[in-house]
Structure 1
Amino acid sequence: MKRALLLTAAAAAALSLAACNRQNAGNTADAGNTMNPGQSAPVNAAQDAMGAAVGAASSTTLGSHDTGAFVDNAGQGNIYEIRAAKIAEQKSKAADVKAYAKMMVIDHTALENEMKPLISAAGKTAPTELDQRRKGFLDNLSAASAQDFDKAYIDQQVAAHEETLNLMKGYADNGDDAGLKAAAAKTAPKVEAHLDKAKAIQAKLSGG
């Protein structure tokens, strides 16, 4: 537990540094840069990696057994997936990426709807907005150039589904609400299938 908490703190600090570097990059961006001011593909990729590290630590610590943390992380995960997929449907030029994004909208909307009554029964409230970490992911997708977009989106998807899979498996094993434990166990295989598909597209984009 202590190691995971230290990882969270270190990753959060690195995430802040990446955001600072993004701001500095805006001062040196060339006139041909098609991204938003202050953004560049390497800085955004570094920020995404740091955000993924924070999420990985969170999903295996509090989120794996605390009901409030589980609800918050699972709910925000669904919101992020749907919003990111809608950006991908608009920006991607690759048929397999667009098909994956469409699947994300359908599956995560269904999961969001399935979870709502269980969250209420557990006495919790589902989140309606994203935290700064996930907002940063969406900002980076919106800013990505046509050339960089598919890799940015799929890299985020691999990290996000690894985080969600750990969250679901952890709560299924260690959670204290029976309804949500059952939902987490039921959801884990579908999340794993999403992860496998994202990894396959990632390998294809990398020439593997």
Structure 2
Amino acid sequence: MKNLVLAGVASVALLGACNQGGDTAAQNADEAVNATQDAASGVVGQTSAATMGANTVEGFVTSLAVGNMYEIEAAKVAAAKSTNADVKALAAMIDKDHTAAGEKVTSVVATAAPNVTVPTTLDERRQGLIDNLKAATPADFDKVYLEQQVAAHNETLTLLNGFDDNTDAPALAGLARELIPTITAHRDRAQALMDAMN
């Protein structure tokens, strides 16, 4: 299984490298590395969400809060860099919905798990995604953003679906169930926009 995952990441990286439109060899190499990092991040994120986030209240809260912060930050980058009205509309929807979700997480944790600290900064992996998004060329930006969004929302869905029946933290499990339709809608819209570009 591990070899299949690594082969998949390598294939995505090679495809990404072949589709780069930079002007210089160094620029093409940087874009290929960023595409590889983004692809690997998606695999790592889903594995982490399935194994760590869904097993403990602290892991769930941390993964959900950091994921929310990443979504908001990425949406702000998209609002500033994208020239595609549909991508900008998706980013606005994500920003609004994830801001509301972040407020709910903080509120529910304050009453249901007061001993758990809600993180307030991005982790290194998600900061790397933001850095790659900021570094994307104008021609590649929408593709990079949408690919990241599909992977990030799949990661969040893995987390939410893994925690939605948790009996140790019923209020957080209820929040997980509440968020699933919104996260699914974001993922499906990002996927539809990506499919339309291909």
Bin for the TM-score computed over the shorter chain: 0.7 to 0.9
Shift of 1:151: 0.3
Alignment of 1:204 with 2:196, yes or no, is yes
Structure 1 residue aligned with 2:133: 141
Which residue of 154, 159, 163 corresponds with 1:162? 154
Alignment of 1:115 with 2:105, yes or no, is yes
Shift of 1:65: 2.5
Shift of 1:40: 2.0
Structure 2 residue aligned with 1:57: 47
Could you list the runs of 5+ residues in structure 2 that have no partner in the other structure? Answer: 14-22
Alignment of 1:97 with 2:91, yes or no, is no
Question: Residues 14-29 of structure 1: matches in 2 within 5 Å?
Answer: none
> In terms of mean alpha carbon deviation, does 175-184 or 80-89 score higher?
175-184
Alignment of 1:78 with 2:78, yes or no, is no
> In terms of mean alpha carbon deviation, does 82-91 or 59-68 score higher?
59-68
The 1:148–1:175 alpha-carbon spacing in structure 2 relative to 1, beyond 3 Å, is farther
Structure 1 residue aligned with 2:176: 184
Shift of 1:169: 1.0
Q: What is the TM-score when the length of structure 2 is the normalising length?
A: 0.85
Could you list the runs of 5+ residues in structure 1 that have no partner in the other structure? Answer: 19-28
For residues 167 and 49 of structure 2, the distance between their equivalents in structure 1, rounded to whole angstroms, comes to 12
Structure 1 residue aligned with 2:142: 150
Shift of 1:190: 0.9
> In terms of mean alpha carbon deviation, does 168-177 or 127-136 score higher?
168-177
For residues 146 and 128 of structure 1, the distance between their equivalents in structure 2, rounded to whole angstroms, comes to 30
Q: Is the 8 A contact 1:64 1:175 kept in 2?
A: no
Q: What is the TM-score when the length of structure 1 is the normalising length?
A: 0.81
- Could you tell me which amino acid in structure 2 is paired with residue 109 of structure 1? T
- Could you tell me which amino acid in structure 2 is paired with residue 158 of structure 1? V
Structure 1 residue aligned with 2:33: 43
Identity %: 43
Shift of 1:104: 0.8
* 1:67-100 superposed Cα distances (whole Å, 9 cap, x missing partner): 1110000000110000000000000010000000
For residues 115 and 161 of structure 1, the distance between their equivalents in structure 2, rounded to whole angstroms, comes to 17
Alignment of 1:172 with 2:164, yes or no, is yes
Q: Secondary structure at 1:40's aligned position in 2?
A: helix
The 1:175–1:156 alpha-carbon spacing in structure 2 relative to 1, beyond 3 Å, is farther
RMSD in angstroms over aligned alpha carbons?
Answer: 2.3
Which residue of 89, 93, 96 corresponds with 1:106? 96
Shift of 1:148: 0.5
